[in-house]
Amino acid sequence: MSYFKVITFGTLILAGTVGTALAHDTRRIEHIQAHQRAAIENGRWNGSITKREQRKLIAEQERIDTLRRRAKADGHVSSREARAIRYAQRNARTRIADDQSNLRVNLWRRLTTRRGL
């Protein structure tokens, strides 16, 4: 009976360790959020982002923060939740870069001006 208890206890400890190892760490997510907020503030400061664009980008950052808080609410961030947060962060990074450079709008304007449209 003692051998059975040791095996059962060892299995429970191993299962608890593996479950903890599979939980996603949110420090990287929080680091990316801080970096994106700094990029928004820097863009607003140097004039590459307008006030309206800043409001939209900050609202997007708040939605991502809400995703992160909901994912952490149960104390465990699943891989699906982490993937959804990373996807939202990638989209936000693209929007920040687009708003800072305004390349798409300027390129379209340049092409239409050259053709005389």
Give the contacts of 96 (CB within 8 A, at least 6 positions apart).
36, 39, 40, 43, 49, 57
Task: Answer for the pair 115, 80: CB distance below 8 angstroms, yes or no.
Answer: no
Give the contacts of 77 (CB within 8 A, at least 6 positions apart).
23, 24, 25, 26, 71, 85
The predicted-structure confidence for 36-63, as pLDDT tens digits, reads as follows 999 999 999 988 898 999 999 999 999 9
φ, ψ of residue 32 to 5 degrees: the values are -65, -40
Residue owning tokens 């609410």: 73
Q: Note the pLDDT of residue 116.
A: 47
pTM across the whole model: 0.67
Query: What amino acid occupies position 63?
Result: R
Please indicate whether residue 5 or residue 69 has the higher confidence score (pLDDT): 69
